[in-house]
Structure 1
Amino acid sequence: MRRALRAAAVLVTAAATIAVGAVPAHADRFRDDQWFLGYLDLAKAHAISQGEGVTVAVIDSGVEAHHPDLDGNVLPGVDVVPGGGGNGWGDLDGHGTGMAGLIAAHGHGSGAGVLGVAPKAKIFPIRMANSAGMGNGDAIVKGIDEAVTRKIKIISISVSAFSAVPDDLIDAVARARAAGCLVFAASGNAPEDFVVTAPARYPGAVAVGAVDRNGAHMTSSVSGPELVLSAPGADITSASKINKSAGTQYRRGSGTSPATAIAAGVAALVWSKYPTLTGDEVLERLTRTAVDKGPKGQDRDYGFGVVDPVAALTAPAASPSAAPTDGSVATFGASELPDTSDGGGLRLGVIALVVGALIVLGGVAVVIARTVRR
């Protein structure tokens, strides 16, 4: 069925509501607005790890490498847009810079600007679109493969390829997991999405949902059995594109986009603290220490729970005898996970519509036949 639905994917950002505006880069206004810093107790986490020595690939709209809150933390990357040839620097949309900022922003001056979850980590920008909504599923495939080729262990994808997507995207996620990478991907936002979108829904991906300021599941965050982790996603302030006439910009957005970047940043903290861990071991630590919400264990709204950086950094190593045996993504590789990807991000909707249409058409045909007989 997947081959029959190999149409080009439409790319959309996984942020629900974003307000972007030119603002002066002064004081602590933006840092104070980052409520998730306190919610995740990142000051305590940063006393243990700040992500040093870890690189995170951000597949998005590019990154403003010289934003004052990111300057020095953005490596030369690649462009996978048609024509390519660039280094991923520069961001016409601002979305990619926002996600990079949530992962690795270091602020500027004395406590000014925004701070990321892993302020000493590096960002490898993979620009797959010049602005929100441009691109296709093949661009994400190329982006994932570029990161794997460079042995980058954490890939953050805050965009979704929904409707029909290439089998190549499914295979790319599997290749990344087989190479020991963790692919964090946004689960999508209602009402535009109604099932976990691609690539988050594919075997081996770490599908991330969003919670609000109280740690409750955001109603706009798409739920599903594929969900693995949750992270703050409501009213999240971060960096944005630089407007030469207006100066440095920041943005505030809500959705599974920022939640995904924050979860990827927590993984960077853990891998920096424990550099010899495998990808499965890092993910096991993240899921085991997540703050369990909803029904006990993994559930459709929260996955295994909300990321807890301090617990993930300080918890004892997992006992081999305590390893889960339920086939969860926390301990199993991509090839061992159940394949739930039989039609892309709109799998259930497409199937329901097709079946419904067939039933209706069948009924019409019967009525017509009976009419003719009369």
Structure 2
Amino acid sequence: MSWEAAAADLAARVTHRSSRWRMPVARTPRHVFVPAWWEADGDRWEVHEPLTEEQWFPAAYADRSLVTSVGGLHADRAKPDDHPVGRPTSSATLPSLVVAMFQHARIDDGDELLDVGTGSGYGTALAAHRLGDEAVTSIDVDPYLVETARHRLAIAGLHPTLETVDATGPLPVKAGAFDRIVATVAVRTVPPGWLAALCPGGRLVTTIAGTSLILTAEKREDGSAAGRLEWDRAGFMPARHGANYPAGASGLLAAAHEIDGEDVTTGPYPVVDVVNAWDLDSMLGITAPGIEHAYQDDGHRRTAVMAHPDGSWARAVSVGDERPTVHQGGPRRLWDLLDELRAYWLQHGELPARGARALITPDGETRLARGKWRAVL
């Protein structure tokens, strides 16, 4: 199968036939942007560098994310015996999600777009096909990613503006330069530079770090922005300030599997795999950001572990249908915070974040509200 046929098939799977994004997906050679990627093999990463189109195209034109950098090591610079340690730091996002983020932005012909998080360059390519090179600016903190994406975009016949920039700081653009800002990296609060770069009436789309919540907002004349948390879901890597993320709570998370707690109690609710309970995970990410998780289920015993960089940790273990034994330590009781959210869910029938109104102040503070619920990021 030719790449053109593979891309057309992908476009048919991830866009509606009348979508203005169908042509960009069908015209973009995604394999050019992912010549190599990392795949998890048990508890370690293995580089995958296809030698033939038969090995390459099924992954490149699947609607899946391909991890291209782990712990700051890019797959196309890796040796076969490299096994990086750490968190993924870049990927080629699954095409349907890239399209969905652009659709949330309500992009019109003639719009000037700031694409935050160049990554592989694939999303930038879709935007450049849709709007034209001159209307698209893409930024990333990683100079290697930017230079490589520039080269691969040129292979695809595209020449948008690419810059190496820490997107969380001031942006080297004039005020009000963009009609739309779409970020495929997550942020806890909206950087003030984004609002400054957005024109009045312009629209931004991003995700809140540590959650699956999509934030959309339109800039107002006073420099603030108003919008909502969408009902849709998305997950992106958090914005970083360099090649890798700072050390988190992974050491404590490993230790928390074995150590005894300062408090040992019996929990009222079953053990839950928080990371895969997206709404619950998102609410916890709003109320107590920065928690890392581990979960094991051998069919008889379920174990959930939580740890935070402030030294707080929790471990909940249940056997069969029994109520869990919960060990907790450190300055905060993380499992108690989780159970408070679960109690709210039972009382109200749902968690309040999705669908909440959002107000973003010019300095980036985000205020959320739905019914009587309030949160400030």
TM-score calculated relative to the size of structure 2: 0.26
Tell which has more relative contact order, 1 or 2 (C-alpha 8 A, sep 6+): 1
Q: Which has the higher strand share?
A: 2
